[in-house]
Amino acid sequence: MIRRILILLIMLLPAMPLQAQERSITIASTTSTEQSGLFGHILPEFARATGIAVRVVALGTGQALDVGRRGDADVVFVHDRAAELRFLADGFATRRDHVMFNDFVLVGPAADPAGIDGLRDTVEALRRIAAAGAPFVSRGDRSGTHAAELRLWQQAGIDPAAGRGAWYREIGQGMGPALNTSAAQGAYVLTDRGTWLSFRNRQELRILVEGDARLFNQYGVMLVNPQRHPHVKAADGQRFIDWILSEAGQRSIAGYRINGEQLFFPNATQPEPVS
């Protein structure tokens, strides 16, 4: 009898890890949450608290929302409020919540050929860059950062596409490659502060413009609507959202620092963004 029990246990043991692995969700998110190291900090805490593993698909916000539209993710965690509200209005989610914020900064070469160092008016800085024909690198990838950059050019009354091939270069890649390209070419670039703080290949790049209210960067989270895509893991996806909005999740976000500097600031309890 004991032998039979032992044989049964041996047969069941290989299956136990497989069952644990089956409990997982996919989150479509931004390159900034991935490349800044935030997910590497918070997701192990979520897994320990819930037993749910997370697979991250890190793309620009526009592409991440497309993944959600196709039903290829359970949760989207992005930072372009206008695009998020369209996603919500189109029925791909039924609710959107604030998670955290940080800000964008305009970085460029120490030589600063456009003379923008110390400005707090990002729109004026972009006007000077265009007037000088100074090199500028754009992600050009429909990300939240790219959308913010295009809004700022519009406010400056400038169509940067007119400088394409001369001083304005779109690379169609994430924030890390954009910063690497800027460092190599001595170009200006708009970046989220979180990725900048975790970026090591700065060479002559440094922050030149910061502190403008227009550089506020809000992140939101949404469960992909299971009525649109019945295969969505709604219960476990909602478990992640509940955790990231909880005191534990918000504390985990606030606790992520590089060289003592906080990268993201939780604001789940704030009903509307600052701007």
Here the CATH number for the domain that contains residue 234 is 3.40.190.10
Q: CB-hemisphere CA count at 13 Å for 146?
A: 23
Residue 126, pLDDT > 50, answer yes
Place of tokens 């037993």: 51
- Give the start-end residues of each E strand in 88-236: 97-109, 136-138, 168-170, 188-192, 205-209, 216-223
166 lies in the same domain as 119: yes
110 lies in the same domain as 211: yes
pLDDT band at 271 (very low <50, low <70, confident <90, very high): low
114 lies in the same domain as 239: no
181 lies in the same domain as 49: no
What is the mean pLDDT of the segment spanning 56-80? 96
Residue 145, pLDDT > 90, answer yes
Helix (H) or strand (E) holding 23, with range, is none
SS (H, E, C) 250-274: HHHHHCCEECCEECCEECCCCCCCC
Q: Are strands 168-170 and 261-262 parallel, antiparallel or unpaired?
A: unpaired
pTM value?
A: 0.85
119 lies in the same domain as 204: yes
Write down the pLDDT at residue 223.
98
Write down the pLDDT at residue 9.
41
Identify whether 6 is part of a domain.
no
Identify whether 256 is part of a domain.
yes
Better-predicted residue by pLDDT, 222 or 19: 222
Identify whether 17 is part of a domain.
no
Q: Report percent pLDDT > 90 for the chain.
A: 84
Q: Are strands 216-223 and 97-109 parallel, antiparallel or unpaired?
A: antiparallel
32 lies in the same domain as 58: yes
- DSSP reduced 3-state for 212: coil
What is the mean pLDDT of the segment spanning 107-118? 97
The whole-angstrom separation of Cα 268 and Cα 247 is 9
29 lies in the same domain as 77: yes
Write down the pLDDT at residue 270.
76
What is the mean pLDDT of the segment spanning 55-62? 94
pLDDT tens digit string along 213-241? 999 999 999 999 999 999 999 999 999 99
Identify whether 257 is part of a domain.
yes
Write down the pLDDT at residue 113.
97
Identify whether 16 is part of a domain.
no
Place of tokens 């265009």: 130
94 lies in the same domain as 228: yes
41 lies in the same domain as 177: no
pLDDT band at 157 (very low <50, low <70, confident <90, very high): very high
111 lies in the same domain as 200: yes
CA-CA distances (angstroms) from residue 178 to 11, 143, 166?
Answer: 51, 12, 17
Identify whether 84 is part of a domain.
yes
Q: List the domain range (segments joined by +) for residue 205.
A: 103-215
Write down the pLDDT at residue 165.
86
What is the mean pLDDT of the segment spanning 140-156? 95
Identify whether 95 is part of a domain.
yes
Identify whether 255 is part of a domain.
yes
What is the mean pLDDT of the segment spanning 139-156? 95
| The total number of structural domains that make up the chain | 2
54 lies in the same domain as 138: no
75 lies in the same domain as 111: no
pLDDT tens digit string along 177-209? 999 999 999 999 999 999 999 898 899 999 999
> Would you report the helix, strand and coil content of the chain in percent, each value rounded to 5?
45, 25, 35
Write down the pLDDT at residue 22.
63
Residue 4, pLDDT > 60, answer no
CA-CA distances (angstroms) from residue 174 to 75, 123, 177, 214, 257?
Answer: 20, 23, 6, 21, 22
Contact (CB, 8 A) for 139 and 145: yes
Mean per-residue pLDDT over the chain, rounded: 91
